[in-house]
Structure 1
């Protein structure tokens, strides 16, 4: 679920030091002599340390409004193909098991593991964007995505598919992050939410076009249609990325020719460069936090729906070791890191940690019920594959629509916290109503109504989380705080899936054994493990009624859990500072 829209920033009351500095500057200006506008700009906008950030600021200082709009159009085209490709591949992915043999459960586990790894590596990706620049980072991540798709198109073994998934998701998450950071570089805080809403709007179309295209691939080519899907985008994807790469390369070259960002010679030897980048990238800190999150999250995601696996010592060991590494990380950063991956002031920033709590909690709540929602629609409400897909897409489509409204409200009011104080109660209402309406005796329309409530509130919070987390930071910290927010959502998603799997494992089998007729008890295993078998029983038959009752029981418990955890999100929002975004200036030059 990659809806990561606009981010605004306001005057850093989220950062008391920044507020004090601004007050001091205001006081000094009363007695200071007049200075030029350029000098004033330098006083209000300190020069960033990282070369990648310096380069993007030089670019925005040299290009024109027309060039900015053309670049945005190139990014919009890329996001359209990017989102369409994800929609088609996501629909076809379950059929990869048929192409690779009987590895259905293993394929699912690989996809979860790859998603977690793809999210955790947001930290090194953010450092690449800051140190080497936005364009080199985007090109590198695009290549990883392309390599992953090529490997998946030709994968003949499960091992090749596993490696391909890791490449693919690192590239997919990374290209999205790099362009989100670039859009933050080239927009003011008052307009940034609107810019992000515009670039996420392709989801509205691809959520409907993608499943239809995927169905065509599978209908025409059968189980091997997934290979045709990957193969098609191996060809199309470079054409989508070319305008973005070409446009940014051209503008960077023009900036260098104007002397705004001259080429620098490091003067370092090869070994000195290795040492330099080990320190700059904080390699030890990266290993601690990436290994810690991967070891901590994988057991929850891979063993959460199989009760027997929790008795495995290696699962417990992974959680313990991962947790220890995450505990060690902040102490290493504070006392030993020569160049901190996460500056200590960010870890202490109230808006940063409270926003991560909010984002993580929202993902816990969402994934508590989402994992089995698609099959629930088909089994309980007898929806077709197409209709079930459309209902499941309500969240994404609704989020994209509400993004424009939220962006406009932030632009007009200059504040964002008040919107969150409306959105979180709406999220609690929509999730709480599901406890009652996700029952077989209710009309499907009420289920859709709850989805709309959750879509509007969740879409607003996706924007507001990013706005809040960036509110107390300077321009050169934008990439790393967005990476931190991405990891928070990965943690929340993994925990939510674990809760969902645990509820399913402990509710569904017991309920089936209780409700199934005696003559169907012998088919328990196939009924429990296969949605195809579940759908084979006609509506109204004793077996189908038993299955529906079991689904209803499990869904009720999932939605109760999802509602309860949202209290933590409300606490997190209350901790936000109420920041006036019109008083924060992160970008300079020609920006939107």
Structure 2
């Protein structure tokens, strides 16, 4: 090949696939250990062990999905048994949602510095402590404390199964594997109601939690043992120096250096590697920023309450301090500059934040709306509530299969966002939407489009970073998504609480007293008890239509921001590598593979497609 043809071939590469100068990334011990596990799995017995890990992780995730589906219902009876239902549910939701979000960066850093299996161990211990406390909880406070421990264990399992998938599955199968993790929900949504029903009397709810003291260890211990077993096999085969891996390097001198350190020096070194100061600032910052969204409905004067204002201010200061610390003080930053400058990660975060922000603005009161404006039976209404979940889980697998054979994700993500916009648009009608078929189609399209979009964000963001950063990117994407969902829920609650009482007063018959209006506002079952054609039911339907219209219109408009962001998304080739940053496989070996290079564009349309990396 002469120099002219070589230059032409370089120019013809998709922008996402062109080689760029890469920052040298030092791998931490947890990442080096996982690459050693992948190398140890090359043998026949290693492949069997890897298959055992995959099976055990799937079983563990199945139980995790079941636990999330059942314990949410148990919380209703638990808080009622303490005679504090309304305040208890609120306090429980605030505590668990914030803890499960802000703990993710901590888990990511812990898994990188130590190892992935130890995070599973920590999650299991947290689970067992939490369920034990809940079973014996004498007060609401003890019950909430137990749930906080459970939320940490739950976040650890959900997070680490995604990280293990990114560690051990190549890019071309990554989307399919991520979609496969959500398939248990296709079954659990149907049979968990029978579990809940059988434990819904007296204090049986305690056994609803207690049964997981037996089930969780049964499904988690095999996965943990298999991971540790492969790690030991890698050590015996000399694939990794465990002592040197504690410093993320593999030279022989490192072992002497580490062994000669005093306990105090080791503790200080671990303190810096965990970026303890940065993570504390991050945790406090996000906790204080998220708390007001949950507390505003119960605080005097809402967001004007001085305490909530103080939380916003102090939380903002903590996050600003975190930024300065990461830039100038952290020896091992938890948010390295290469991530903050990463176009793919930033666009994925924007897309997912808007997805959950708009999604919760629409979804928060959709179930209540359908319960009032249609005449579906309770069973049919429950089936409708599961349509979105079924769509997300089913089309997540479809998205993975499409990515496997097209080796790209951008066009599918853009298509998915467009489908989701159509789904949102089906609900926007000033006269309301009463047709059940239209309501179901809306949720089905939203689930389909959401699946294509979410899987695209996950795979694209993971492909754009080195193996060292994959756990942190998964944590950041999840954290920001949760923030978007919290803001969307807060907006929906604010609009609902401020507009619905007035709309009910406006559209209900004049014979209905103001006290009765408040009762109708507080109880959808009371409204539902009236015949569909009665003046009270029809007035309530009109009030519901008027209240949700601006919310659902805003959700539709916001979705176009995600569509614009998706146009600036990268479009890496999904091949046999672990990532597209340094083109290393799951074992840490650099691979050279066909990246889907195309000819130099000859027309204006081809240049447009090249500009957008399509």
* Change in 2 beyond 3 A, CA 1:536/1:150: farther
Higher helix share: 1
Q: Which residue of 2 aligns with 1:158?
A: 140
User: Does structure 1 residue 541 correspond to structure 2 residue 542?
Assistant: no
Q: Which residue of 1 aligns with 2:48?
A: 66
SS of structure 2 residue aligned to 1:539: coil
Q: Normalising by structure 2, what TM-score?
A: 0.85
Q: Which residue of 2 aligns with 1:215?
A: 197
> Alignment partner for residue 157 of structure 2, among 175, 179, 189?
175
User: Does structure 1 residue 188 correspond to structure 2 residue 170?
Assistant: yes
Counterparts of 1:378 and 1:307, CA distance in 2: 31
Shift of 1:536: 3.2
Q: Which residue of 2 aligns with 1:115?
A: 97
SS of structure 2 residue aligned to 1:439: coil
Shift of 1:163: 1.4
Q: Normalising by structure 1, what TM-score?
A: 0.88
List per-residue Cα deviations over 1:18-69 (Å, max 9, x = no partner).
62459xxxxxxxxxxxxxxxxxxxxxxx885201111111111012323222
User: Does structure 1 residue 19 correspond to structure 2 residue 20?
Assistant: yes
User: Does structure 1 residue 425 correspond to structure 2 residue 449?
Assistant: no
Q: Which residue of 2 aligns with 1:57?
A: 35
Counterparts of 2:17 and 2:101, CA distance in 1: 27
Q: Which residue of 2 aligns with 1:566?
A: 559
Shift of 1:246: 2.0
Gaps of 5+ in 2: 1-12, 244-254, 590-614
> Alignment partner for residue 587 of structure 1, among 578, 582, 585?
585
Counterparts of 1:93 and 1:183, CA distance in 2: 31
Counterparts of 1:451 and 1:49, CA distance in 2: 43
* Change in 2 beyond 3 A, CA 1:90/1:570: same
Paired residues for 1:182-581 under 5 Å: 182-218=164-200, 221-222=201-202, 224-264=203-243, 266-267=258-259, 268-304=261-297, 308-436=301-429, 439=432, 442-521=434-513, 522-581=515-574
Whether the 8 Å CA contact 1:437–1:446 is kept in 2: the answer is: no
Shift of 1:546: 2.2
* Change in 2 beyond 3 A, CA 1:586/1:284: same
User: Does structure 1 residue 143 correspond to structure 2 residue 125?
Assistant: yes
Gaps of 5+ in 1: 1-10, 23-45
> Alignment partner for residue 73 of structure 2, among 91, 113, 137?
91
Counterparts of 1:511 and 1:581, CA distance in 2: 52
Counterparts of 1:496 and 1:12, CA distance in 2: 36
Aligned length: 553
Whether the 8 Å CA contact 1:428–1:563 is kept in 2: the answer is: yes
Counterparts of 1:144 and 1:13, CA distance in 2: 45
Shift of 1:452: 0.3
Q: Which residue of 2 aligns with 1:43?
A: none
* Change in 2 beyond 3 A, CA 1:333/1:13: farther
Whether the 8 Å CA contact 1:305–1:498 is kept in 2: the answer is: no
List per-residue Cα deviations over 1:208-267 (Å, max 9, x = no partner).
11223212322xx25x34322112222212112122122212222222222323442743
SS of structure 1 residue aligned to 2:426: helix
Shift of 1:361: 0.6
Whether the 8 Å CA contact 2:25–2:468 is kept in 1: the answer is: no
Counterparts of 1:418 and 1:15, CA distance in 2: 16
Counterparts of 2:563 and 2:28, CA distance in 1: 36
Q: Which residue of 2 aligns with 1:25?
A: none
Q: Which residue of 1 aligns with 2:599?
A: none
Counterparts of 1:493 and 1:138, CA distance in 2: 26
* Change in 2 beyond 3 A, CA 1:554/1:141: same
**Relative to structure 2, which stretch is displaced further, 232-241 or 457-466?**
232-241
Counterparts of 1:539 and 1:215, CA distance in 2: 29
List per-residue Cα deviations over 1:383-410 (Å, max 9, x = no partner).
3443333222222211111122211211
SS of structure 2 residue aligned to 1:121: helix
List per-residue Cα deviations over 1:489-515 (Å, max 9, x = no partner).
111011100110011012111111112
SS of structure 2 residue aligned to 1:518: coil
* Change in 2 beyond 3 A, CA 1:160/1:235: same
Shift of 1:174: 1.3
Counterparts of 2:390 and 2:105, CA distance in 1: 29
Whether the 8 Å CA contact 2:345–2:473 is kept in 1: the answer is: yes
Shift of 1:13: 5.6
SS of structure 2 residue aligned to 1:506: helix
